[in-house]
Amino acid sequence: MKKVHKLLSVLAVLIASFSIVSCNKEIEPIVLNGTWDLDTNAVIVRIVYSPVVADEFPNSIKFLAENIQKIRRELMKPQRIVFKAPNVSEFYYNDVPLPVTGTYLHDNAYFTIQNALFAGGLNGASDNLRLELYYDRDYLMTILRRFLTVNDDTPETFDRLIETFHGVGSYKRIN
């Protein structure tokens, strides 16, 4: 019995030693350079609305439910992003023959892209395998307003109704 106990103690020490050594690995630097393709399954739109305003404007809630996938599809653009050294970014769209070129600033896992479509900057993050773009409320409200018709509630109603509105575009590295 003492031999089994001693063997288990030695194994426990070895396992603990290996786990400590493996935890001391250097963190791999995040490299954006390369081509990233859209992962349509991982594009997300999140809306949190005021229940009080929703009770007052039920048609606005219905509008959001009917158009959430249209808004999500708008975040599925661009279909491809290419990062080039030293800090050039290119957005490729299916319906536009040339890329939308811009620049990016990179700090660890986070980055900000600036181009003609996102003059104020578009924030994102990467872990070297996946890349995410974060769309803020203002950008998503701009998309929503494009879908409104004269028969819908006013943009001001949606401004009051929607408390939180953001989206994530997700990309996978292809090279």
Per-residue pLDDT of 91-133, as tens digits, reads 999 888 899 999 999 999 999 999 999 999 999 999 999 999 9
Which of 53, 95, 79, 62 is closest to 170 using CA atoms?
Answer: 79
Alpha-carbon span 29 to 27, nearest angstrom: 6
Contact between 71 and 143 under an 8 Å Cβ cutoff? The reply is: yes
The answer to whether position 149 is within a domain reads yes
Mean per-residue pLDDT of the chain: 88
Domain that holds residue 56: 30-173
Stated pTM of the model: 0.81
Please give the tally of structural domains in the chain.
1
* pLDDT over threshold 60, residue 13: no
Return the DSSP state at 28. P
The Cα diameter of the chain in Å comes to 84
The answer to whether position 146 is within a domain reads yes
pLDDT tens digits, residue range 79-99? 999 999 899 999 999 888 899
The answer to whether position 44 is within a domain reads yes
Alpha-carbon span 60 to 161, nearest angstrom: 8
